[in-house]
Structure 1
């Protein structure tokens, strides 16, 4: 695991939410009905002509939408696997302070000063930042 993957955690969770809303939008789009009118007549004499309205689902559009939806689901699944990999890495870290710093900074997105205040009890973000830099240099 490297620092760049950790820094991407928040962005990936945001992207998952965006993909989920896009999938919902696309599902609604696939279920839209189309309608048209045709001219017909009665089956018996005097064969009076009248308009008939027909409705249905545009199957070509539905197929295109489903293809896009499948691609979005594949992307979302890949992102979930990447998040799971990051979570497994965090669980494997033995140093409690490092785990806390990673959780607060990269998972919750706190500023360095707030992270230092929570972990060390004083608001000097350099301490927490340097601890993480050293951890990843050694790894």
Structure 2
């Protein structure tokens, strides 16, 4: 049985998937910069009693390696989240299809599957206020 908590979790899961995708994109950009030859330059002192200074250039391998490992981990996490999201999407869609009231089906679909705000839902449905569609949903869920 789909409850208000399940619907809320579904919305949170959608946002979590988006967040992980953004993190992956940032990591891929960082790795791309390193692979394109973004060099790290440092200077060290040594020789002649520490009076000589040497410039060292290279690829930051520890950072590169860490980011690649993190990328693989985040991709695995994303896959698990997407699988969970697909399962929850099917569950929510089955719940929506089981609702007898057409208006309520539209409200639930717009709110949870399309991530609309209550005010957006009110405008789409027409002839309603933000609070009226929200209250209608809350009364419906309390009956279930």
State the TM bucket, normalised to the shorter chain: 0.5 to 0.7
Provide the rounded CA distance (Å) in 2 between the counterparts of 1:18 and 1:125: 31
Provide the rounded CA distance (Å) in 1 between the counterparts of 2:84 and 2:103: 23
1:75 equivalent in alignment to 2:77: yes
| Higher share in helix | 2
Provide the rounded CA distance (Å) in 1 between the counterparts of 2:130 and 2:40: 62
Q: TM-score, normalised by structure 2?
A: 0.59
Q: TM-score, normalised by structure 1?
A: 0.61
Structure 1 residue ranges without an equivalent (≥5): 37-54
In structure 2, the residue matched to 1:100 is: 106
Structure 2 residue ranges without an equivalent (≥5): 42-56
Alpha-carbon RMSD across the aligned residues, in angstroms, is: 3.2
Taking structure 1 as reference, are residues 100 and 20 closer, same or farther at Cα in structure 2, changes over 3 Å only? farther
Alignment equivalent of 2:87, drawn from 85, 88, 99: 85
Flag the structure with larger Rg: 1
In structure 1, the residue matched to 2:132 is: 127
Alignment equivalent of 1:114, drawn from 120, 130, 135: 120
